[in-house]
C-alpha cells in the first residue's frame, strides 16, 4: 500500500508530530470513501458553492486563454475530478481544445477522475502520480507545453487548508509554473458565526470512514479511540483528533511501537481563511492576483494568480 518513503514519512510524523498525514487516507479504498464526501459536498456543501462560483466566473477566468490552441487543465489534488467540469464546459463552449491532467498522490483517485472526465468529454487525459508536498513538478508542466499548449493549474476544494505547511505546497506550485501559466485556488473562508454549524460535518460517519483509513491499516482499533472535532480559534482551523483509550500497538511494515493511553493523534486539519490571510499568503509566496471572486455569502473564494518576479 505505502511506498518505503511514505512508510518513513508516516512513522516520523506519528512519532515526531503526533499526526497522521491526511493525504495517505486517499490511497486504496480511501479514494471511494472520499467520493462519498465529495458527493455530499456537491449537494449542498463547499463543492456546490465552488461549482456555482466557478460556473459563474469561468468566462472571466478563461479570458487569458482566448487565443490558445490548446489548454492543459492541470488538476492538482484531483479528487473525483468533478470540480473542474465548469472550466471544461466553458472551454468546450468556446471551442478551445484541452487536455485533462490530474495530479494526485493516489492512483485510485487518478483513475476515478479520469472516468469522471471521460463521462463528460472526449479529450486526452494524462495522469501523474505525484506527492506535490515533496517538491515542484516543473518537468511535467514544462513538457506539457512542448506542443505549443498553455497551462492552467487548478487547486480546488479548499485542499490548501489541509496542510500544515501551506507555504511549502504553494511554493511547489509556483515553481512548477511558467510566467504565462495561471493557477486558480479555491478556499473556504472563516465565518465565526457559522463555526458551530460547521463542526458537526467533521463528526459525520463518512468523514470518520475516510479519516480512520490509515489508523485502521496500522492497527489502531476504532473502538480503542475517542474521536473529537474541535475549532482551534488561535490557528483558525477545524482539527480532527483521536485519543487512545488503552495502550495501542502500531505496526507499519517491519516497524512496531506503542501509543500510550491518553496520547492523541491529529487526523486532519481544515484551515479557514479570511480575505486578508489568504491574499497575504498568496503574495508572500510570490503570486500576483489576476482575479478574485467571492460567493454571495462570502464563505468561499476563488482566486486566479500568476507567479510574480520580485526581490526580497
Using DSSP bridges, classify how beta strands 287-294 and 300-307 pair: parallel, antiparallel or unpaired: antiparallel
Alpha helical stretches, state H, 94-237: 107-120, 138-144, 166-174, 195-198, 205-211, 213-217
CB of 17 to ligand SAM, least distance (A): 15
Q: Contact at 8 Å (CB) between 106 and 73?
A: no
- Judged by CB under 6 A, does residue 156 bind ligand SAM? yes
Residues 95 to 114 in contact with ligand SAM, rule: CB under 6 A: 104-106, 109
Strand order in the sheet with 225-232: 225-232, 237-244, 264-271
**Residue at grid coordinates 483517485:** 109
Between 107 and 219, whose beta carbon lies closer to ligand SAM?
107
- Judged by CB under 6 A, does residue 157 bind ligand SAM? yes
CB of 37 to ligand SAM, least distance (A): 8
Sign of CA dihedral 30, 33, 35, 37: negative
- Judged by CB under 6 A, does residue 78 bind ligand SAM? yes
In the set 10, 38, 62, 302, which binds ligand SAM (CB under 6 A)? 38
- Which of the ranges 136-144, 155-163, 203-211, 225-233 carries the binding residues for ligand SAM, by CB under 6 A? 155-163
Q: State which residue has the least CB distance to ligand SAM.
A: 157
Distance of alpha carbon 298 from alpha carbon 194, whole angstroms: 12
Between 101 and 259, whose beta carbon lies closer to ligand SAM?
101
In the set 68, 72, 141, 159, which binds ligand SAM (CB under 6 A)? 159
Query: SS3 of 33, please?
Result: helix
> Which residues bind to ligand SAM, rule: CB under 6 A?
23, 26, 38, 47, 77-79, 83, 104-106, 109, 130-133, 156-157, 159
Amino acid at each position: 500500500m505505502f511506498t518505503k518513503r511514505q512508510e518513513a514519512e508516516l512513522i516520523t510524523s506519528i512519532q515526531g508530530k503526533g499526526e497522521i498525514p491526511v493525504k495517505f487516507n486517499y490511497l486504496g479504498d480511501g479514494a471511494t470513501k472520499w467520493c462519498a464526501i465529495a458527493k455530499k459536498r456537491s449537494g449542498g456543501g463547499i463543492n456546490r458553492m465552488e461549482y456555482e462560483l466557478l460556473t459563474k466566473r469561468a468566462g472571466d477566468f478563461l479570458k487569458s486563454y482566448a487565443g490558445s490552441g490548446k489548454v492543459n487543465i492541470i488538476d492538482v489534488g484531483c479528487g473525483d475530478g468533478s470540480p473542474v467540469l465548469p472550466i471544461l464546459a466553458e472551454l468546450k463552449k468556446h471551442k478551445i481544445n484541452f487536455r485533462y491532467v490530474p495530479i494526485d498522490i493516489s492512483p485510485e483517485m487518478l483513475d476515478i477522475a479520469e472516468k469522471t472526465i471521460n463521462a463528460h468529454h472526449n479529450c486526452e487525459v494524462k495522469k501523474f502520480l505525484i506527492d506535490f508536498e515533496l517538491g515542484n513538478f516543473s518537468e511535467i508542466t514544462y513538457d506539457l507545453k512542448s506542443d505549443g499548449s498553455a497551462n492552467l493549474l487548478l487547486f480546488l476544494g479548499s485542499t490548501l487548508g489541509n496542510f500544515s505547511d501551506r507555504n511549502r505546497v504553494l511554493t511547489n506550485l509556483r515553481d512548477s509554473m511558467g510566467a504565462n501559466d495561471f493557477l486558480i485556488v479555491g478556499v473556504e473562508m472563516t465565518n465565526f458565526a457559522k463555526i458551530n454549524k460547521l463542526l458537526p460535518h467533521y463528526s459525520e460517519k463518512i468523514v470518520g470512514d475516510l479519516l480512520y483509513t490509515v489508523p485502521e491499516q496500522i492497527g489502531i482499533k476504532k473502538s480503542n479511540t475517542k474521536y473529537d472535532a474541535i475549532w482551534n480559534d488561535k490557528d483558525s482551523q477545524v482539527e480532527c483528533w483521536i485519543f487512545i483509550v488503552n495502550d495501542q500497538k502500531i505496526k507499519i511494515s517491519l516497524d512496531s511501537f506503542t501509543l500510550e493511553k491518553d496520547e492523541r493523534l491529529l487526523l486532519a486539519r481544515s484551515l479557514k481563511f479570511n480575505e486578508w490571510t489568504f491574499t497575504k499568503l498568496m503574495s508572500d509566496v510570490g503570486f500576483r492576483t489576476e482575479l478574485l471572486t467571492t460567493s454571495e455569502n462570502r464563505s468561499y473564494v476563488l482566486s486566479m494568480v500568476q507567479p510574480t518576479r520580485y526581490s526580497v
